[in-house]
């Protein structure tokens, strides 16, 4: 995709992420109809409303682009695709916990090109563009430099799609490295925090592409390391994710088992 076409999409992306965040914040203060899609898998009326608004706005400007949304599935075809999580951290949102966000990524010809995350209750808009850096509001983000693992915070997302034992073993192994862990309930914000150097790593044994792509681009653009999340059919089916400050890559790959196959190759590419 030509630079000018991407410029227009970047501008539209940031605008719609901001508007969607404002809508989500308004809906957060109202009583919500809440349903369960499965065990510990919440959906609120706000998820659908926010997603429909985002798709309607972007479709008007880019009628030939395709869309993949958490709630409404796939719309359209083609290699320019928007990947949307209208509310990431839905369990928090449904329980009146303000740690949630809107996450939107844009891919062109299989390449992750743009990402934006709006965390409206914190007044934060995160954005990244391939090769052009990652920003929180107007400030450039960088992952933590040379973190000491004995002071590191690693977020370990929990997914009901993997056995409980796999999660608890991962927690034990990460704690054995000297790091501590947390689970705050939004994969997208968890990744954005790594990009901003607030935390030092994010890992989840299975997560969907709409929760992940925008934040992954932010970590990479902020100088971090990520596993090859999009390998195989991850766009449609999800995958394991590990993203961290480069200095913790070796310890966290070993502790989590995520990224083992491609860890060395990717790090070499980043350093060259």
**Contact residues for ligand IPD (CB under 6 A)?**
70, 85, 88-90, 157-159, 185-187, 204, 207-208, 211
Bridge-based pairing state of the strands 80-88 and 73-75: unpaired
Name 87's Cβ contacts closer than 8 Å, sequence gap at least 6: 24, 44, 46, 47, 50, 93, 100, 101, 102
Return d(Cα 129, Cα 75) in angstroms, integer: 24
Return d(Cα 36, Cα 53) in angstroms, integer: 22
Judged by CB, which is closer to ligand IPD: 246, or 257? Answer: 257
Q: Are 189 and 85 in contact (CB under 8 A)?
A: no
Return the structure tokens found at 239: 């995958």
Q: Is 224 helix (H, G, I), strand (E, B) or coil?
A: coil
- Minimum gap (Å) between residue 6 Cβ and ligand IPD: 26
Judged by CB, which is closer to ligand IPD: 207, or 219? Answer: 207
Judged by CB, which is closer to ligand IPD: 63, or 73? Answer: 73
Judged by CB, which is closer to ligand IPD: 44, or 177? Answer: 44
Return d(Cα 88, Cα 217) in angstroms, integer: 16
- Determine how many CB atoms are found less than 10 A away from the CB of residue 41: 13
- Minimum gap (Å) between residue 37 Cβ and ligand IPD: 8
- Minimum gap (Å) between residue 146 Cβ and ligand IPD: 28
- Minimum gap (Å) between residue 108 Cβ and ligand IPD: 24
Judged by CB, which is closer to ligand IPD: 80, or 102? Answer: 102
- Minimum gap (Å) between residue 142 Cβ and ligand IPD: 24
Judged by CB, which is closer to ligand IPD: 86, or 224? Answer: 86
Q: Are 27 and 50 in contact (CB under 8 A)?
A: yes
Q: Which residue is nearest to ligand IPD (CB)?
A: 187
């Amino acid at each position: 995709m030509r630079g000018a076409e991407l410029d227009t999409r970047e501008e539209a992306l940031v605008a719609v992420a901001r508007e969607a965040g404002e809508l989500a914040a308004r809906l957060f203060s109202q009583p919500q109809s809440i349903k369960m899609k499965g065990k510990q898998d919440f959906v609120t009326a706000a998820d659908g409303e926010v997603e429909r608004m985002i798709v309607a706005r972007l479709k008007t400007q880019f009628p030939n682009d395709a869309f993949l949304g958490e709630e409404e599935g796939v719309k359209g075809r083609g290699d320019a695709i928007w990947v949307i999580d209208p509310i990431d951290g839905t369990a928090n949102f449904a329980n009146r916990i303000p740690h949630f966000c809107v996450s939107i990524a844009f891919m062109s010809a299989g390449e992750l090109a743009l990402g934006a995350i709006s965390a409206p209750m914190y007044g934060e808009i995160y954005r990244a563009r391939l090769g052009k850096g990652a920003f929180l509001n107007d400030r450039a983000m960088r992952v933590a430099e040379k973190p000491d693992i004995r002071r590191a915070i690693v977020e370990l997302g929990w997914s009901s799609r993997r056995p409980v034992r796999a999660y608890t073993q991962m927690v034990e192994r990460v704690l054995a490295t000297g790091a501590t862990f947390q689970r705050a309930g939004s994969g997208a914000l968890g990744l954005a925090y790594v990009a901003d150097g607030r935390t030092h790593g994010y890992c989840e044994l299975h997560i969907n592409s709409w929760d992940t792509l925008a934040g992954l681009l932010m970590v990479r653009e902020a100088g971090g390391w990520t596993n090859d999340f999009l390998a195989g059919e991850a766009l449609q089916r999800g995958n394991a994710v590990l993203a961290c400050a480069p200095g913790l890559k070796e310890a966290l790959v070993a502790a989590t088992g995520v990224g083992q196959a491609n860890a060395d190759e990717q790090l070499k590419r980043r350093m060259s």
